[in-house]
């Protein structure tokens, strides 16, 4: 007689909570100009044509920043290009966009920005589960000599890798 398996006999599997993430853009200039002390994931409040333009990858975060006003976080100076197939209801490319965070997170970020003199800089824009998310960095500005050190370290690493590859 064949042994029947029941739900009790099957091994339990952990649920797969990881969602597919598609990185749209990375603000490389921010990593050059700032030390990133902490990162936070935030949602973005967008219009219909903005998300279509984001999916096409037509976004520029260089020179953008986030600011806290009246208990809300706003993304300023981020450029999302006009959607080519949009009509008269197309969005404005550079406008202030509200970032969606929990109230507790906003309070923590506000206290760090006020007391330590840090800045909120968008580091990465990506799609997660069909929704646009932005990775904000709590950043401290680099001095000129810090930038020179980072460039020198990068050059040394490049030279070492080159020597290793040649054998």
pLDDT digits (tens, 9 = 90+) for 105-114: 999 989 888 8
Q: What is the pLDDT of residue 67?
A: 92
Q: What is the model's pLDDT at position 43? A: 93
Which residue's structure tokens are 């799609």? Answer: 127
Residue 36 and residue 123 in contact, taking contact as beta carbons nearer than 8 Å: yes
**Domain assignment present for 155:** no
153-167: per-residue pLDDT in tens?
889 999 999 998 887
Number of domains in the chain: 1
Structural domain includes residue 163: no
Domain containing 91: what range?
A: 21-142
Looking at residue 17, its pLDDT comes to 60
The CATH number that applies at residue 98 is 2.40.280.10
| 16 in any annotated domain | no
CB atoms within 10 A of CB 115: 8
Note the maximum CA span of the chain.
79
**Residue 56, in any domain of the structure:** yes
- 87, with CB counted inside 10 A (0-12, 13-18, 19+), is exposed
| CB burial of residue 9 (10 Å; 0-12, 13-18, 19+) | exposed
Mention every residue, 6+ apart, whose C-beta is less than 8 A from residue 155.
none
Q: Is the per-residue pLDDT at 16 higher than 60?
A: no
What DSSP letter does each residue of 51-78 carry, written as one string? Answer: HHHHHTT-EE-TT-EEEEETTEEEEES-
- What global pTM score does this model have? 0.73
Residue pair 27/77 in contact (Cβ under 8 Å)? The answer is no
- Residue 162 included in any domain: no
Is the pLDDT assigned to residue 125 strictly greater than 90? yes
Q: Pick the residue with more confidence: 10 or 76?
A: 76
The answer to whether position 5 is within a domain reads no
Reply yes or no on whether the pLDDT at 13 is more than 80: no
- The reply to whether 156 falls in a domain is no
> Token digits for 6?
């029941």
What is the model's pLDDT at position 3? Answer: 53
């Amino acid at each position: 007689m064949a042994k029947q398996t029941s739900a009790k006999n099957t091994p339990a599997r952990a649920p797969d909570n990881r969602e597919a993430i598609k990185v749209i853009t990375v603000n490389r200039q921010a990593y050059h100009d700032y030390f990133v002390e902490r990162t936070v994931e935030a949602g973005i409040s967008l219009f219909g044509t903005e998300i279509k333009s984001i999916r096409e990858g037509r976004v520029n975060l260089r020179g953008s920043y986030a600011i806290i006003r009246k208990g809300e976080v706003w993304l300023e100076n981020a450029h999302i290009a006009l959607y080519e197939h949009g009509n008269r209801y197309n969005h404005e490319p550079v406008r202030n966009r509200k970032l969606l965070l929990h109230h507790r997170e906003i309070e923590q970020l506000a206290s760090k920005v006020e007391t330590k003199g840090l800045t909120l800089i968008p580091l990465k824009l990506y799609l997660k589960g069909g929704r646009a998310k932005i990775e904000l960095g709590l950043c401290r500005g680099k001095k000129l000599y810090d930038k020179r050190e980072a460039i020198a370290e990068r050059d040394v690493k490049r030279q070492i890798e080159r020597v290793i590859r040649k054998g």
